[in-house]
Amino acid sequence: MGTFSTLIIIMLVIAFLLRIDFIFYIIYISIGVYAWARWYVPRSLGRLESERIYRDHAFWGEIVPIAIRLRNPNRLPIPWLQVTESVAVQLRQGQPLNQVITLRPKETVTLSYQVAARKRGYYQIGPLYLTSGDLFGMMPDRHAILPGQYLTVYPRIIPLTQLGLPSRLPFGTIASRQRLFADPARPSGVRNYRSGDSLRQINWKASAHTRNLMVKTYQPAISLETAVLLNLHQDDYQRSDRLRTIEWAIQTAASLAAHLIEQRQPVGLISNGVDPLALSDAPEFDEGTGRLIRPAALPDTPLPPEIPPRNGRAHLMKILERLARIESESTIPFVEWVTTATFQLSWGVTILIITARGPEPVCQAIHRLVRLGYNPVLITIEPDAQFAQVRERSRHLGFAAYNVIGLADMDVWRQPVGRGW
């Protein structure tokens, strides 16, 4: 570019001294080309409107279409525009978005590509790198970035039509719908006054509105609540197959939660894993896979807050979102954590404990929950040849135990009630 400036200067000197109009003409054109390259290209790229259109949540196995919409608001075209979208390796489906296009004035172009939700996680989509430049190579290329956005891939949900749990458990006796204790802190609606109802339960505003006495109804305080207690203390899992079994544990937790929400029952989630998104404002992603990872700069990893039992699909999405991001970590061993983790739960809540195995200390810890008035159910994830002993032990200690080591074992959960294990 320096030589071009020199040429212009030499021509200017010649034109000025010799007063040759024609050289001025050539100089004007040269300066025009230079000015176009110097000012117009960055300006046009700066004014380029870009937008990423996609659904930011996806279920496992889904194909997610992503559209990049580019609009050139300028009155002049953009002769070439290099569009490169960065996509996590684990999401790639077909050719990534690497295109060179041209944009006419006021033209809008939509480029699309797809990603495949193959593994749960919190992924970054993008950033989108836009590169453009002049036609003569006088100035270096200019770059613009459309910042990355995020895609949450929920864990795989195995559709369970029915859980074969003992009928004495509250969610096992759904048909009875008996409300043992109504919780005034959780109103669920109103109904007509019936003889015997307490005057304190009358909803006066609703009664005035309907000109009929209406009584408040409450959600049951104890019955039908379930909490999934997911142990993700990585030292509790065997190193050789840790990655797979932890993923399986998370899938099991998600499947159970989805099933219970489907049955209109409140479900909560408590885990001793870590949520990397909650740890840092600037999320970090694995370069290889593109998944969200725990920030390396944080030695003490606080546990994510528990999700109290609620019902409804929105609540299920909240649980699934947490399960999508959660990672195993050497946090607090299960035995030390389990008692403190259940302090916030109401009496009588069913606690589905998902952990690697059921050794004696684990069973003893669960037994303490029984003694505290909860209904724990132990679900072990790792293959265990001596699981019969665990089951026998748990039966003695007052809770049920199941070993779910794969999809074949999950089939058992799909069987009608009564066939059991």
Partner 1 sequence: MSEIEPSVKLAAGEEQSYLTNKWSRTVSQPLLITLMTTALFAAILNVIHSFSPNPIWLWLIPLVFFVSLEGVYTTLWLAQPRRRILDRTAYHLSELFVLLLITRLYTWLLSGEWPQLALAANYLKYPWRLILDVPFIIGALLVVMAWFRARAESETFTRLDIDEAEVHYYTQEVHQREIGNKPVMTYRGDLAATFFQHWVWGGMVVAICVALASVDIPSVTTVSFPFGFSRLQLPASLLLSVIIYFVAGMALVSQARLATLNARWLHDGMQKSPRVERSWLRFGVFLVIVLAVVAAFLPLGSTFAIGRLLEALILGAAAVASFISFLVILITSLFLSLFFRQGTPPAPVTPEPLPTLIPTATPIPVATVPPAADDTTTILLSSMFWALAVAGTVMALSFYLRGRGIRPSRQTFRLLWASLTGWLRELWQGMAEQAGEVRLAVRQRLQREKKEGEAKEKKRPFRFIRINGLTPRQQIRYFYLSTVKRASDRGVERAESETPLEYMADLQENWPEAAEELDTLTDAFLKARYGRRELEKEDANRVKKRWKAVKRQLKK
Q: Which parts of this chain interact with partner 1 (CB under 8 A)?
A: 3-4, 6-7, 10-11, 13-26, 28-30, 32-33, 36, 53, 63, 65, 67, 77, 79-80, 82, 84, 95, 98-102, 104, 108-112, 114, 134-137
Between 99 and 263, name the residue whose CB sits nearer to partner 1.
Answer: 99
Say what angle helices 2-18 and 21-35 make with each other, to 10 degrees: 150
Exposure string over 192-228, b if 16+ CB within 10 A, otherwise e:
ebeeeeeeebbbeebbeeeeebbbbebbbbbbbbbbb
Q: Which residue has the tokens 């665990």?
A: 390
What's the min distance (Å) between Cβ of 84 and partner 1? 8
Between 98 and 178, name the residue whose CB sits nearer to partner 1.
Answer: 98
What's the min distance (Å) between Cβ of 19 and partner 1? 5
What's the min distance (Å) between Cβ of 151 and partner 1? 15
> Quick count: other Cβ atoms within 10 Å of Cβ 236?
23
Rounded Cα distance between 310 and 104, Å, is: 53
Rounded Cα distance between 412 and 27, Å, is: 84
What's the min distance (Å) between Cβ of 4 and partner 1? 6
Between 102 and 386, name the residue whose CB sits nearer to partner 1.
Answer: 102
What's the min distance (Å) between Cβ of 135 and partner 1? 5
What is the torsion angle, in degrees rounded to the nearest 10, for the CA atoms of residue 102, residue 104, residue 110 and residue 112?
-10
Between 11 and 293, name the residue whose CB sits nearer to partner 1.
Answer: 11
DSSP symbols for 380-405: E-S--TTHHHHHHHHHHHT-EEEE--
Cα-flanking dihedrals φ and ψ of residue 87, to 5°?
-130, 135
Q: What is the DSSP letter of 151?
A: E
* Pick from 122, 397, 342: nearest CA to 230: 342
- 369-373: which pairs have CB atoms within 8 A and are 24 or more residues apart? 369/338, 369/339, 369/342, 369/399, 370/397, 370/398, 370/399, 372/339, 372/342, 372/347, 373/347, 373/348
The Cα-based distances of 276 to 111, 158, 254, 321 in angstroms read 32, 25, 18, 12
CB–CB of 258/163 below 8 Å?
no
- CA-based R_g, the chain, Å: 31
Between 135 and 417, name the residue whose CB sits nearer to partner 1.
Answer: 135
List the structure tokens of 386.
Answer: 């001596």
What's the min distance (Å) between Cβ of 33 and partner 1? 6
What's the min distance (Å) between Cβ of 103 and partner 1? 9
What's the min distance (Å) between Cβ of 6 and partner 1? 7
What's the min distance (Å) between Cβ of 83 and partner 1? 9
Please, where are the H alpha helices in 195-341? Answer: 204-210, 242-262, 276-279, 313-325, 334-341
- Asked if the peptide bond before residue 96 counts as cis, ω within 30 degrees of 0, the response is no
Between 84 and 207, name the residue whose CB sits nearer to partner 1.
Answer: 84
Q: Which residues pair with 81 in a beta bridge?
A: 101, 132
63-71 β-sheet, strand order: 49-53, 63-71, 108-116, 92-93
Between 47 and 264, name the residue whose CB sits nearer to partner 1.
Answer: 47
Between 65 and 312, name the residue whose CB sits nearer to partner 1.
Answer: 65
Between 145 and 388, name the residue whose CB sits nearer to partner 1.
Answer: 145
Between 4 and 150, name the residue whose CB sits nearer to partner 1.
Answer: 4
What's the min distance (Å) between Cβ of 12 and partner 1? 9
What's the min distance (Å) between Cβ of 137 and partner 1? 4
Between 10 and 407, name the residue whose CB sits nearer to partner 1.
Answer: 10
